[in-house]
């Protein structure tokens, strides 16, 4: 019987086993904990699958998933087997008796401690190594899919005469396989050497032979495999020279062979390959010779050869053959680089024409007429006027417009296409009257309506505001009937739950209107399992038990156009600026997408994030693929995202692109053919900005095709800084309907300017036909300026120093307003260049920009006038020209002049005071519609007051309604602002 206490040892405390109930409870808790952790890991996978299925791109998810799983299993298992076999073999080849030495006696303790767990240790080590190797291999799924689906480019590199597909698709996979092989061999060497040492096959301090014959043979075979792989690496390095980047005086990011590569490195790699093969044979020979002497000598020879032949010899060639006459030696290779780079970036057909930059016509009236036909001058700058859209069309605090609006083309009432500035009224949760989970995700779910304004004219209420062609809530205008609700947009980043018991706020106009989502997008939350999965993946437990979710509830997420296209086509690079278009009674986001590669032989590389940055990407729009380095790019896909349903559609655009063909083989059925693009969508497709910026950056050097001139850099250009923006950065490209020399009509174009490197004058002008419906779409035209012409920065400096501008700015100070410069447009005209720049004021009674002046410069003339028409008349010295500037100002110039005199002045001042008071009351109530009306009334009263005053001082600026371009409504800005300052000095802070 057991001792139950007492005795000489004292009482003994007996610890009993937990009861069966406790054990069952603990076991149950453990199982539940494991299941909970498994569910947490599974939730992310499950919600991803549900999302891909909801957008009808489940094949992308499954193809990517099975590719990753396959690579993980194959390479993870292969690595584990290789390591495990070598450890097992080392253990099997151990000597039967170990030497009796202190070294071996100390190792005996480790052998004995490991002996009972040998199999488990081996499994653990191989499993860990296999997991790491498999995870690394699964990240190469793109490389694998491109390798197995690659199609030929139909072009051969100039050095090895191999198809470009070898470098773009095959070589990356070979390099991965080679790296994997090196890792497997090195780890096997380490594992085998440790096993041999532990079991006496290798000895460090024991007397006698340092290694048994079996250990020697085993390790020498592994070393032979390693050297064999090194031989393969030397052979692949020969081809790698065609895509190798290096520093070179001729250009940054040089790619391809140079003289020293072709005449020193290439033969050196071939010689090293032969030496490595011989060295590998010597290592394998130790299986019979059982000696390390010859392999060690061979390995030493290989290392010495690598230093002398692979390093020293090329340096000597570069120093004594190339540098004394580098231009002549490198000329053939520069030619290859120029040809490859121009082809890889699709700039090989860029047409470069010399252009004097000096006007040839002396007939001023004829010049004025030509200026009216040269372009539709966009006085509404989409980068400036967003606050005006916000103030005049926001309607509610919970709506917002993007900081940079978009430029598109729409037909006006006359049936003619016109450049249009457009933005969507998207949801802004920061403006909600009360923030909570229900409001954020159930009540406020969508924006409402597209707001559009003519790009070439201004409105009259207030003067200088956008001339809206689509406005209001709900919107009405020239766009016709369309689905106005915006569930998917650039600013819509939160998830929403729609379609269930909880009604959504549709819009507020004469009372609240509610709606319930009728679209088929999103994932159903009708079953508890899906709700639990999203509660876990979104870390929001209320999704699991909220009564606001029920039958019909669907969750919408991944709602920005960029996110959705990136998710369904992870092999595409997405443009930084999606733009909206009203197409077929729906709002569609149009997203430009690119196929790229880093393996185009001889083509110089560029970093997309750096190349696509400009003065607007600092805080207004995104850049494409921040750090991606590429040397081949095509705008191969045009994608659309429905703003209501979120439906994503991918259309083939570049039908010849081999990279797109490769990905279409890998993901069949995901990209529709180009012929499936509807015509009404085709009317809104345009040349993408980011591709244009990449091409213009390359053309700063690669417009030169003569190797000697390219090497000297004498004709290198640069993209100038934006002279109208306070933030540093390159001038952004501008969309503009204009006519290039030799064209018979205006074309919707994307334009930019260049200056000579290190100089401020104009070096060149570039335009690309941006209208996708045009037969000349994508045609790049370059005008190389052959005389000294003022560049954009110089024009802006002259404008800033202009006396009229200085007086205008002085007058603004009295109204607490600031001047804002719009886009400085450059238009070729009669051998010279015409610069047009809209000028806005902001502040005072209105905290949004209104067009007040237009500056123009041609030749040595620079003028600063009230309207576009007046500016064109003044810069060409034409008085009262009847020549219209397209598009002409809408009717309204023939109205009776406003009354003048003391009575009219008093009435206007009284109306201004009344409007000001009404605006203050509306501001307190946050009634933005009433506030906007009050501001418009105030502006009208101030203009009447200015007109009623005697014509003196700044009041002279009020005259002259123009017959052109949205210009007439800017008259009287100075006197209006002066009247405001004179009539209400007691108001103090009017900026509110």
Q: 474: cis peptide before it, omega within 30°?
A: yes
Query: Rg (Cα) of the chain, in Å, rounded?
Result: 37
Q: What is the mean pLDDT of residues 783-800?
A: 92
Q: Is the pLDDT of residue 883 over 60?
A: no
How does pLDDT run across 437-459, given as a tens digit for each residue? 999 999 999 999 999 999 999 88
Q: Where are the alpha helices (DSSP H) in 376-425?
A: 386-393
Pairwise pLDDT comparison (950 vs 660), residue with the higher score: 660
Q: Where are the alpha helices (DSSP H) in 382-527?
A: 386-393, 437-438
Beta bridge partners, 650, equal: 639
Strand spans (E) along 608-655: 629-630, 632-642, 648-652
Amino acid 914: pLDDT: 77
Beta strand 399-400 with 426-427 is antiparallel
Q: Do residues 424 and 408 make contact, with C-beta atoms less than 8 angstroms apart? A: no
pTM here? Answer: 0.83
HEC string of 459-480 equals EECCEEEEEEEEECCCCEECCC
Pairwise pLDDT comparison (288 vs 441), residue with the higher score: 441
> Which residues, at least 6 apart from 262, have a Cβ–Cβ distance to it below 8 Å?
159, 241, 333
Give the rounded distance of the alpha carbon of 419 from its chain centre.
25
Amino acid 960: pLDDT: 35
Q: With pLDDT > 90 as the criterion, what percentage of the chain qualifies?
A: 55
Amino acid 882: pLDDT: 43
Q: Which of 461, 460, 464, 456 lies closest to 965 in space, CA to CA? A: 456
The DSSP output letter for 240 is H
The burial class, CB within 10 Å (0-12 / 13-18 / 19+), for 923 is: middle
Sign for the pseudo-dihedral over CA of 238, 240, 243, 246? negative
Amino acid 978: pLDDT: 36
Phi, psi of 453 (to 5 degrees): -145, 150
Pairwise pLDDT comparison (921 vs 348), residue with the higher score: 348
How does pLDDT run across 530-563, given as a tens digit for each residue? 999 999 999 999 999 998 998 899 999 999 999 9
Q: Is the pLDDT of residue 118 over 90?
A: no
Question: What distance, in Å, lies between the first and last C-alpha atoms of the chain?
Answer: 95
- Altogether, the residues listed in the chain come to a count of 992
Q: Do residues 869 and 844 make contact, with C-beta atoms less than 8 angstroms apart? A: no
Tokens 């790019």 sit on residue:
633
How does pLDDT run across 892-931, given as a tens digit for each residue? 333 344 555 565 666 677 777 777 777 777 766 666 667 7
How does pLDDT run across 197-206, given as a tens digit for each residue? 887 777 766 5
Beta strand 606-607 with 463-471 is unpaired
Beta bridge partners, 486, equal: 447
Q: How far is 550 from 554, CA to CA, in rounded Å?
A: 9
Beta strand 351-355 with 780-785 is parallel
Q: What is the mean pLDDT of residues 10-14?
A: 49
Q: What is the mean pLDDT of residues 499-518?
A: 88
CA distances from 503 to 375, 497, 515, 695, 800 (A): 49, 10, 6, 49, 55
Pairwise pLDDT comparison (384 vs 37), residue with the higher score: 384
Amino acid 726: pLDDT: 77
How does pLDDT run across 723-743, given as a tens digit for each residue? 988 777 899 999 999 999 988
The DSSP output letter for 384 is T
At residue 103 the predicted structure's pLDDT band, cuts being 50, 70 and 90, is low
Judged by average pLDDT, the poorest of 269-273, 470-474, 918-922 is: 918-922
Phi, psi of 558 (to 5 degrees): 50, 60
Q: Is the pLDDT of residue 465 over 70?
A: yes
Pairwise pLDDT comparison (112 vs 654), residue with the higher score: 654
Amino acid 806: pLDDT: 87
Q: Do residues 192 and 122 make contact, with C-beta atoms less than 8 angstroms apart? A: no
Q: How far is 543 from 534, CA to CA, in rounded Å?
A: 7
How does pLDDT run across 380-402, given as a tens digit for each residue? 999 899 999 999 998 888 999 99
Q: How far is 371 from 523, CA to CA, in rounded Å?
A: 55
Sheet with strand 417-424: strands edge to edge: 406-411, 417-424, 450-460, 463-471, 476-477
**141-149 vs 171-198: helix crossing angle, rounded to 10:** 130
Amino acid 802: pLDDT: 86
Joined together, the tokens standing for residue 964 give 């052109």
How does pLDDT run across 148-197, given as a tens digit for each residue? 999 999 999 999 999 999 999 999 999 999 999 999 999 999 999 988 88
Q: What is the mean pLDDT of residues 637-653?
A: 96
- Residue 37 host element (H or E): helix 20-54
Which of 84-88, 93-97, 459-463 is predicted most confidently?
84-88
Amino acid 621: pLDDT: 53
As a dihedral over the C-alpha atoms of residue 211, residue 217, residue 221, residue 224, rounded to 10 degrees, the angle is 70
Collapsing DSSP to helix, strand or coil, 617 comes out as: coil
The DSSP output letter for 587 is E
Beta bridge partners, 579, equal: 590
Q: Do residues 826 and 855 make contact, with C-beta atoms less than 8 angstroms apart? A: no
Sign for the pseudo-dihedral over CA of 915, 920, 923, 925? negative
Amino acid 17: pLDDT: 64
At residue 106 the predicted structure's pLDDT band, cuts being 50, 70 and 90, is low
Q: How far is 956 from 14, CA to CA, in rounded Å?
A: 108
Judged by average pLDDT, the poorest of 109-113, 750-754, 821-825 is: 109-113
Q: With pLDDT > 70 as the criterion, what percentage of the chain qualifies?
A: 85
Beta bridge partners, 768, equal: 750, 780
Q: Which of 455, 465, 576, 459 lies closest to 825 in space, CA to CA? A: 455
Q: How far is 392 from 467, CA to CA, in rounded Å?
A: 11
pLDDT, averaged across the chain: 84
Q: How far is 640 from 647, CA to CA, in rounded Å?
A: 8
Q: Do residues 159 and 242 make contact, with C-beta atoms less than 8 angstroms apart? A: yes
The burial class, CB within 10 Å (0-12 / 13-18 / 19+), for 120 is: exposed
């Amino acid at each position: 019987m057991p001792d139950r206490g007492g005795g000489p040892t004292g009482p003994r405390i007996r610890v009993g086993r937990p009861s069966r109930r406790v054990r069952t409870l603990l076991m149950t808790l453990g199982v539940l904990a494991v299941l909970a952790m498994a569910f947490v890991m599974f939730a992310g996978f499950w919600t991803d699958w549900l999302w891909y299925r909801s957008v009808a791109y489940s094949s992308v998810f499954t193809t990517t998933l099975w590719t990753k799983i396959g690579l993980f299993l194959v390479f993870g298992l292969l690595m584990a087997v290789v390591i495990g076999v070598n450890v097992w073999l080392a253990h099997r080849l151990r000597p039967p008796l170990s030497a009796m030495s202190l070294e071996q006696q100390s190792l005996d303790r480790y052998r004995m401690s490991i002996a009972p767990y040998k199999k488990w240790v081996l499994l653990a080590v191989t499993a860990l190594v296999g997991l790491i190797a498999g995870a690394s291999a699964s990240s190469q799924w793109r490389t694998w899919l491109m390798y197995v689906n690659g199609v030929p480019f139909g072009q051969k590199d100039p050095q090895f005469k191999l198809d470009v597909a070898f470098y773009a698709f095959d070589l990356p996979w070979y390099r991965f396989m080679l790296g994997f092989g090196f890792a497997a061999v090195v780890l096997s060497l380490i594992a085998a050497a440790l096993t041999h040492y532990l079991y006496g096959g290798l000895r460090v301090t024991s007397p006698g032979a340092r290694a048994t014959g079996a250990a020697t043979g085993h390790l020498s075979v592994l070393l032979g495999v390693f050297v064999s792989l090194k031989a393969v690496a030397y052979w692949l390095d020969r081809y790698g020279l065609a895509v190798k980047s290096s520093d070179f005086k001729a250009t940054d990011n040089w790619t391809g062979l140079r003289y020293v590569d072709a005449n020193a490195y290439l033969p050196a790699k071939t010689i090293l390959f032969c030496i490595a093969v011989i060295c590998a044979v010597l290592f394998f020979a130790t299986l019979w010779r059982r000696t390390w002497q010859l392999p060690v000598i061979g390995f030493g020879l290989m290392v010495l050869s690598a230093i002398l032949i692979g390093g020293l010899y090329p340096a000597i060639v570069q120093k004594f053959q190339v540098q004394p006459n580098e231009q002549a030696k490198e000329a053939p290779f520069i030619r290859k680089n120029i040809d490859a780079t121009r082809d890889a970036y699709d700039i090989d057909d860029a047409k470069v024409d010399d252009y004097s930059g000096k006007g040839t016509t002396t007939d001023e009236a004829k010049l004025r007429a030509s200026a009216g036909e040269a372009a539709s001058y966009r006085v509404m700058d989409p980068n400036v006027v967003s606050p005006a859209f916000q103030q005049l069309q926001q309607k509610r605090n919970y709506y917002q417009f993007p900081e940079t609006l978009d430029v598109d083309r729409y037909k006006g009432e006359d049936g003619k296409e016109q450049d249009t500035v457009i933005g969507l009224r998207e949801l802004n949760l920061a403006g909600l009257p009360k923030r909570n989970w229900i409001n954020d995700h159930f009540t406020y779910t969508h924006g409402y309506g597209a707001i559009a304004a003519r790009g070439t004219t201004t409105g009259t209420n207030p003067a200088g505001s956008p001339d809206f062609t689509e406005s209001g809530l709900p919107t009405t205008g020239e766009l016709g009937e369309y689905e106005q609700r915006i569930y998917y947009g650039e600013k819509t980043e939160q998830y929403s739950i729609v379609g269930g018991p909880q009604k959504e706020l549709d819009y507020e106009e004469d009372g609240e209107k509610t709606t319930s989502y009728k679209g088929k997008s999103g994932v159903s939350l009708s079953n508890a399992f899906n709700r639990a999965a999203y509660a876990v993946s979104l870390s929001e437990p209320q999704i699991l038990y909220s009564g606001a979710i029920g039958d019909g509830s669907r969750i919408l997420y991944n709602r920005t156009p960029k996110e959705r296209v990136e998710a369904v086509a992870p092999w595409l690079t997405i443009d930084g600026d999606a733009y909206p278009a009203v197409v077929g009674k729906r709002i569609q986001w149009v997203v430009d997408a690119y196929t790229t590669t880093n393996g185009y032989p001889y083509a110089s590389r560029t970093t997309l994030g750096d190349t696509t940055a400009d003065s607007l990407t600092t805080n207004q729009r995104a850049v494409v693929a921040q750090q991606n380095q590429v040397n081949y790019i095509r705008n191969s896909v045009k994608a659309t995202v429905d703003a209501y349903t979120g439906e994503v559609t991918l259309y083939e655009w570049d039908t010849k692109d081999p990279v797109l063909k490769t990905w279409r083989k890998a993901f069949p059925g995901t990209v529709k053919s180009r012929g499936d693009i509807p015509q009404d969508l085709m009317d809104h497709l345009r040349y993408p900005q980011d591709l244009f910026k990449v091409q213009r950056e390359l053309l700063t050097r690669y417009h030169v095709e003569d190797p000697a001139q390219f090497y000297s850099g004498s004709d290198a250009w640069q993209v100038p800084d934006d002279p109208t923006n306070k933030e540093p950065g390159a001038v952004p490209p501008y969309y503009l309907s204009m006519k290039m020399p030799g064209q018979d009509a205006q074309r919707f174009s994307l334009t930019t300017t260049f200056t000579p490197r290190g100089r401020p004058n104009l070096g060149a002008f570039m335009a690309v036909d941006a209208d996708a419906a045009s037969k000349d779409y994508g045609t790049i035209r370059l005008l190389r300026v052959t005389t000294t012409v003022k560049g954009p920065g110089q024009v802006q400096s002259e404008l800033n120093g202009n006396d009229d501008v200085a007086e205008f700015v002085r007058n603004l100070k009295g109204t607490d307003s600031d001047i804002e410069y719009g886009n400085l447009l450059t238009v070729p005209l009669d051998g010279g260049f015409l610069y047009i720049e809209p000028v806005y004021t902001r502040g005072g009674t209105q905290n949004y920009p209104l067009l007040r002046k237009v500056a123009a410069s041609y030749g040595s003339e620079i003028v600063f006038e009230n309207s576009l028409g007046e500016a064109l008349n003044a810069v060409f010295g034409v008085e009262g020209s009847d020549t219209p500037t397209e598009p002409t100002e809408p009717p309204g110039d023939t109205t009776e002049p406003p009354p003048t005199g003391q009575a009219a002045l008093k009435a206007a001042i009284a109306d201004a005071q009344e409007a000001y008071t009404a605006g203050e009351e509306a501001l307190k109530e946050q009634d933005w519609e009433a506030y906007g009306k009050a501001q418009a009334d105030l502006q009208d009263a101030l203009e009447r007051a200015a007109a009623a005053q005697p014509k003196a001082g700044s009041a002279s600026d009020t005259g002259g309604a123009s017959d052109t371009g949205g210009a007439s409504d800017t008259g009287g800005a100075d006197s209006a602002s002066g009247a405001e300052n004179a009539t209400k000095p007691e108001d103090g802070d009017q900026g509110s």
